[in-house]
Chain A
Amino acid sequence: MTNEQQPPSSSQEEIETRLSEQAASLMEHVSKGDFGEALRVISDLNDTRDRTLYHEVGKLTRSLHEAIRNFNIDMGNVRMNQEEELSKIADASDRLSYVVDMTNKAANKTMDMVEASMPVAIEMKQEAHELKEAWGRLRRREMDPSEFRELYKRIDKFLVDLAANSDKVYTNLSEILLAQDFQDLTGQVINKVTGLVKEVEVNLVKLVAMAGKVDRITGIQHEMKAEEESITKGHGPQIQTEGRSDVVASQDDVDDLLSSLGF
């Protein structure tokens, strides 16, 4: 896109040759005392430097454009009716949101089922406990006939309930089992996104190399301020705790640390 600014003949070697020629002629004019001519050569030198700059900037702009295209984030070029041309990054964000949705649904589904099963288990446990007590009294012949008739009915009901409740718990457990299918689906999605991240990284490294070249040619220096890591801001889970002394590896480590602080 910067072709028009770039003299067609200014290849790198040519520029270098011209520079050394001009430098030599500058020396010559200065030693002869021909300062008028020397100044003209200096202005030529300037010209050559500018052309080199244009040439390099032109080359870099092209590579930059190429790199950005590789990123596929140029939403401006997307024809909205062609979904397959949607940016990969936007797609990756959608995919990750899908992972969050899926894990959220699975976690809630599992908890629904657990919460539905717990009272059933408690109810059965309680009834079994009471029946066992009554049964003990019966065996020790401490029960009168009216109590026995009551117990007889209760045991009958308990057995019916037991079958129904076991069924309910079993159904809930299989639903919990099924809810774990998110692992497969989200795993596939995450693997795809990981692939994209790697691809982006490669392109980003190229981009950084190019930006470094621009800085070298133009002599631009950046004042880089190291981002201060605030402690109040959370870091999220530590993925790799092994071999790191700044991170605790377990609850025991936390307890040790706190007790060393007088807790």
Chain B
Amino acid sequence: MKILVVDDFSTMRRIIKNLLRDLGFTNTDEADDGSTALPMLKTGKFDFLVTDWNMPGMTGIELLQAVRADDSLKNLPVLMVTAEAKRDQIVAAAQAGVNGYVVKPFTAAVLKEKIEKIFERIDS
């Protein structure tokens, strides 16, 4: 399982990578915004994407839209981990095809639950 973590703050990337490692996901890579993430996704054979929303350059929602519009990536599970808490935004993310939405600040338990739920749904 190869996971790409996209966030513009290195500390947040580090926290998420640590939590993922605790959950048994050790094969992770990171990017600091959508425009660096997208080429990595296209060539890197990632199985899962964890992305922030608010980033300079390409935002997380734009990255999500780009992923869903790309034939080779459109089935990639995407979890949004973000401080964006407007209802409109959550609805927009759902419409764009997000698989899970976690608002910051979050706990390890919430992240674990959402990731497990996403994989459950994919497996079934």
A interface list, Cβ under 8 A from B = 104, 107-108, 111, 114-115, 231-238, 241, 245-251, 254, 257-258, 261, 263
Contacts and interface: CB of A to CB of B under 8 A. Distances in A.
B35 interface: no
Contacts of A234: 53-55, 59-60, 82-84
B106 interface: yes
Interface in B52-79: 53-55, 59-62
23 contacts: A104-B11, A108-B14, A111-B11, A111-B15, A114-B18, A231-B61, A231-B89, A232-B61, A232-B92, A235-B54, A236-B54, A236-B83, A236-B84, A238-B85, A246-B87, A247-B86, A248-B87, A248-B90, A250-B103, A254-B90, A254-B103, A257-B91, A261-B94
Nearest to B52: A234
Given A232-B92, A245-B87, A257-B91, 19 more contacts: A104-B11, A108-B10, A108-B11, A111-B11, A111-B18, A114-B18, A231-B61, A231-B92, A234-B55, A234-B60, A234-B82, A234-B84, A235-B54, A236-B54, A247-B87, A248-B90, A250-B103, A254-B85, A254-B102
Contacts of B90: 248, 254, 257-258
Contacts of A254: 85, 90, 101-103
B103 A232 contact: no
Contacts of A263: 94
B20 to A, nearest CB: 14
Interface of B: 10-11, 14-15, 18, 53-55, 59-62, 82-92, 94, 101-104, 106, 110
B106 A251 contact: yes
B93 to A, nearest CB: 9
A147 to B, nearest CB: 33
Contacts of A246: 86-88
B78 to A, nearest CB: 13
B101 to A, nearest CB: 5
Contacts, number: 77
Contacts of B14: 108, 111
Nearest to B53: A234
Given A111-B18, A234-B59, A257-B91, A251 B86 contact: no
A67 B94 CA distance: 48
Given A232-B59, A258-B101, A248 B85 contact: yes
Contacts of B15: 111
A60 B110 CA distance: 58
A120 to B, nearest CB: 15
A261 B91 contact: yes
